[in-house]
Amino acid sequence: MTTASALTFKRQHRVLPGFGLSLGVSLTFISLVLLLPLTSLVGQLSNLSLSQYWFLITDPRIVASYSVTVGAAAVACVFNAGFGLLMAWVLVRYDFPGKRLVDALMDLPFALPTAVAGITLATLYSSNGWIGSLLEPTGLSIAYTWVGIALAMAFTSIPFVVRTVQPVLEDLPVEIDEAAVSLGAKDGHAFRRVILPHLWPALLTGTGLAFVRSLGEFGAVIFIAGGKPYETEITSLMIFVRLQEYDYAGASAVASIVLATSLLLLLIINLWQGRFIKRLHGGRG
């Protein structure tokens, strides 16, 4: 039985030429596009001793930029998790005129040059801007504070949440909601106990991706950040500053922190998601 299935596996015709060839090609391109640049980044670091490296990455001003960046990214993510879920829900479960347009608009932050987004946001939210001038009497200023940074990050990363949650929600038939409600669950209850458990992995992945994206965002944020030392300087600006000083090693050192954090987060998300799906499907991966 086992030998038979192994044989059929071997003889099976596939759409793409053989496993060996396609894997080889994929790995080559991964190396060229991803690994090679990363290796050269790490290569820059090899000019540094460990204590130099430590000194570069623990500069108080850079440490301050970490907390600004991470804090703003966290706020942006929490916002996106809620708003993105709502957006995906509306797009999947309701029909309304202009739905396709809203659906297409969701991808705009991906397509729009981030600098354009940054300038637009700064224009809108600065004290003489359209929204900023309305908020000014309330004492809430957005542009050139870290709220502005979080706003720009939320803007550029919202599609991650919507586009990861949307397909999962589409796979969940409306009958599930109806069954839950007909069995006596109130609206909120059905959502929490029946729908949300299925969405968790996707929601978490989307939010995690949004967070990672926000950590490295430069173009959109830089125009609204204000760049005040210790207050509104983001980490990618510090990398840019090091480059302006022709300090490649310093820039790579700071970049490596962002890179390591991002990689670690992505890994954790993947592992966690794998376990979650297993549990959800009763052990069938």
Partner 1 sequence: MVRFLASVSAVALSLSLVAAPAQAEGQSRELLNTSYDIARELFADINPKFIAWWQAEQGETVSVKQSHGGSSTQARSIMQGLRADVVTFNQVTDVNVLAEAGLVANDWQAQYPNNASPYYSTTAFLVRKGNPKNIESWDDLAADGVELVFPNPKTSGNGRYTYLAAWGYADRAFGGDEAQIEAFMKDFLGNVEVFDTGGRGATTTFVERGIGDVLITFESEVNNIRNEYGVDDYEVVVPPVSILAEFPVAVVEDYAERNGNLDLARGYLDYLYTVEAQRLLAGYNYRVNDAGVAAEFSDRFPQAELLRVEDVFGSWPQAMQTHFANGAKLDQLQRR
The residues that touch partner 1, with contacts defined as CB under 8 A, are 59-61, 119, 122-123, 126-129, 143-144, 222-223, 226-230, 237, 240-247, 250
Is 71 or 82 the residue whose CB approaches partner 1 more closely?
Answer: 71
Q: How far is the CB of 51 from partner 1 (least distance, A)?
A: 15
Tokens coding 157: 């990363």
In the complex, least distance from residue 57 CB atom to partner 1, rounded to whole angstroms: 12
* Distance in Å, CB of 76 to partner 1, minimum: 21
For partner 1, give the closer residue by CB, 83 or 218.
218
Nearer to partner 1 among residue 240 and residue 276 (C-beta): 240
- For partner 1, the closer of residues 61 and 93 by Cβ is 61
**Shortest separation between residue 134's beta carbon and partner 1, angstroms:** 15
Residues 6+ apart with CB under 8 A from 195: 172, 176, 177
Give phi and psi for 145, each to the nearest 5.
-125, 175
Element (H, E) at 148: helix 146-171
Angle at 218 between CA 48 and CA 224, to 5 degrees: 130
What's the closest the beta carbon of residue 5 comes to partner 1, in angstroms?
A: 46
Residue 252: name the closest of 265, 262, 240 by CA.
240
Q: Is the CB of 118 or the CB of 201 nearer to partner 1?
A: 118
* Burial class of residue 123, CB neighbours in 10 A (0-12, 13-18, 19+): middle
Q: For residues 239 and 251, is the Cβ–Cβ distance under 8 A?
A: yes
Q: Are 258 and 70 in contact (CB under 8 A)?
A: no
CB of 230 to partner 1, least distance (A): 5
Residue 84 vs 250, nearer CB to partner 1: 250
CB atoms closer than 10 angstroms to residue 126:
19
Is the four-CA dihedral 276, 280, 282, 285 of positive or negative sign? negative
Compute the distance between CA of residue 90 and CA of residue 231 in angstroms, rounded to an integer: 37
Q: How far is the CB of 70 from partner 1 (least distance, A)?
A: 19
If the CB atoms of residues 64 and 172 are measured against partner 1, the closer one turns out to be: 64
Distance in angstroms (rounded) separating the CA atoms of residues 93 and 87? 10
DSSP 232: S
